Each structure stands twice: as structure tokens, then as C-alpha cells.
Amino acid sequence: MSALRVGIVGARGYVGAELIRLLAAHPRFELAYVTSRELVGQPLAAHIPGYAGDVQYTSPAYEDLPALAADLVVLALPNGKAAQIVQQFDDAGVDPVIIDLSADYRFDPSWYYGLPELTRAQYSGQRRISNPGCYATAMQLAIAPMANVLDGPVQCFGVSGYSGAGTTPSDKNNVELLRDNLMPYALTGHVHEREVSKQLGHPVEFMPHVAPHFRGLTITANLRLSIAFDIEEIFARYRGRYAGEPLVRVLDEAPWVSRIAGMHHIELGGFTLSGDGKRLVVVATEDNLLKGAATQALQNLNMAFGLDEFLGIPL
């Protein structure tokens, strides 16, 4: 079988690097081009540990991208940049699979929202795929098994490593400012708050923070329930909902963010019920660069080409 050619637009960031490593080791995908204005002409191998190929960064004009003949295109750009690139493909009448890693199309019903564990049944060959946010992935997987018995908004307290702030310098990835610190930001109206509320059809209140570690996030979700449960019923719901899902692990104990770095799955645990059985607290941890981004993108790309969803993902 011939290889499927992948173009990555805007691959200088942390997620782009993770995706390059996954795609380079994949048995069916090959890198067609990788763009970065800052690194143009430099070999990927000089910037991505573990990558041994000979591809170099390029910087084509957006209007030239359709002519590069990739079977699939990954947009790994900051929010607000995707539409102008998508338009180039539309204008040229070229229709590769396009997966957008930003938030730009997460609210567009014409794009498939690719959180496979929850939306797999909604995939019917769409060639435009929106990859969920990292926090949004963790929150949805933590809440979904109880979605039909929620009573009032769900509160989620989140803490992420500073890789979630990207490579553009800011207070949120300034190691000196983060040392011995926990930095709150966007405490109402965060894009992931709106994303999760839309996808679950239920209000979620999200309070994100940045910590001094590099990668991995944790969220603690507080769920008010309309009926009383005992703890065994809770475990049965979560284990039943995610049975057969290799990238979701339900633990007896609370997961630790320090143990999830470099892992491709999400862990759910710390299940705690109030005395009346009507308040549940759930903890979720994931690597924000992997299951929160690059690994999930690979799940979606595999699905788009009829491959095993987990092909090329270390389980």
C-alpha cells in the first residue's frame, strides 16, 4: 500500500513536534512537508529529539499549499489562523483531509468534532476535523458518564504545565514567574469552558491555572447529581462507559499528574461521594501534548483513512 502524505502547517510548537514523532513512526503516513517561518531551511532532526528523517522546514505561501499534494493537512497554528488556509484549499478545489488543532472550528457543526471516545459514532467520512482542546478532552471524559444525572453547573478546577501556553513568550510560560507559583488565568469564559458546555449540552464552569512543570494537566470536577448514588454504582458507570477504550483508564485511586507525562492515555480516578450520595468529585489527568492534542489527532487521522484508530499509538 502506498504511503499517505501528510503536510503540517505551523509545526514549530510543542504539539507539532509530538505529532511529527508519531507520524514519522507510523506505518502508513509519511511527512510531505512541515512549515515554519522561523525555522525555514533547517532540518527537523536538529529540533526534534528522536526524529531521524531528512525532512526540512519550509515556508510556502498559503496559496501554494494546495499544489503540494498532501493527502492530509494538519493545521498546528494559533487560534484565528485556520480559516485563511482552509479558504486556499476551497478556492483551489483541492480537498485533502484537514485537521485543525486550534479552537477555530470547534463550534462549527459542518466540521467533525474529534473526541473519538465520545463522538466516534458521529464520524461518517467528514474530511474536515476539529481536534478538541486539551482541557476540554479531560473535562468531557470526566463528566460524560454522569451527564444524564447532573444537577446544576459542573465546576472544574484545572492545573496545566506551561507547555500548554505554547512557545510564544508570555507570563504563562515564563519559568521564572512560575517558580514556586500557581498562576490563575481566564477564570470565566475560557474557550474550553464554552467548548465543553456546548459538547455536553450542560453548563460547565472552568477555572484554569498554570504550574511550574512542563507537561501534563489535571482537572478536579465537582458534579452535583439529581439522584443519590453509592460508590460502586459510580465505578460501574465509568468502567462500563469506557470498557474497551485503550486510551481511557479508570483507577481506584486518585491519578497523579507526574505519572501521566509522556503517556498517551487519560486517567480518571479520585472518585469521592458526599455523605448524601448526590455530590461526586472526579479527578482526571492527561498529557496535554499527547492525548490532549497530538495523540488524539492521530486517532482522528487514522479514522479518516479507514485505518485502525490506534495504529501508530503506543498503548
The arithmetic mean of pLDDT across residues 307-311, rounded, is 98
Residue type, 269: G
- E strands present in 86-216: 97-100, 112-113, 128-130, 154-160, 183-184, 204-210
Which domains can be identified in the chain, with CATH numbers? Answer: 4-132+292-304 (3.40.50.720), 134-287 (3.30.360.10)
pLDDT of residue 264: 98
> Catalytic residues, which ones?
134
C-alpha cell at 151: 444537577
Q: Which of 90, 159, 39 is nearest to 16 (CA)?
A: 39
C-alpha cell at 296: 488524539
pLDDT of residue 50: 84
Residue 12: which residues within 8 A CB-CB, separation 6 or more? 36, 38, 39, 57, 167
**Residue 122 pLDDT > 80, yes or no?**
yes
The proportion of the chain whose per-residue pLDDT surpasses 70, expressed as a percent, equals 100
Give the confidence band of 258 by pLDDT, cuts at 50, 70, 90.
very high
In tens, the pLDDT along 145-160 reads: 999 999 999 999 999 9
**Residue 309 pLDDT > 90, yes or no?**
yes
Q: How many CB atoms lie within 10 A of CB 168?
A: 10
Query: Is residue 10 left, alpha or beta, with left meaning phi > 0 and alpha meaning psi from -120 to 50?
Result: left
Q: Are 139 and 145 in contact, with CB atoms under 8 Å apart? A: no
pTM: 0.96
